[in-house]
Amino acid sequence: MDENKTLQALERQSLNLVTEFCKAWEQKDVEKLIPYLSEDIDYPIWEREAEIHGVQEFRDVIGPFLAGAERM
């Protein structure tokens, strides 16, 4: 496989990963997002002017936000 075909395959994989991640947000289910996260995630929250640290804190903060969202 030449370098160009390898790059195209990696680009498709990346695009698929991002697309699936965005679809997970649309489902408004925090558990659908967890597989995409690193255990040591640092996620900024603008309204709180703080960051979420770790998967459990992401689940605790983002879960209720998603549950209350009318649409994404």
pTM above 0.75, yes or no: yes
Pair of tokens at residue 39: 């255990």
- Judge whether residue 1 has pLDDT over 60: no
More confident residue, 3 or 5: 5
Residues 52 and 65 sit within 8 Å (Cβ to Cβ): no
Classify 65 as helix, strand or coil.
helix
The pLDDT of residue 48: 65
Report pLDDT digits (tens) over 19-52.
Answer: 999 999 999 999 999 999 999 999 888 776 789 9
Coil, strand, or helix at residue 53? strand
Domain boundaries, the chain: 3-68
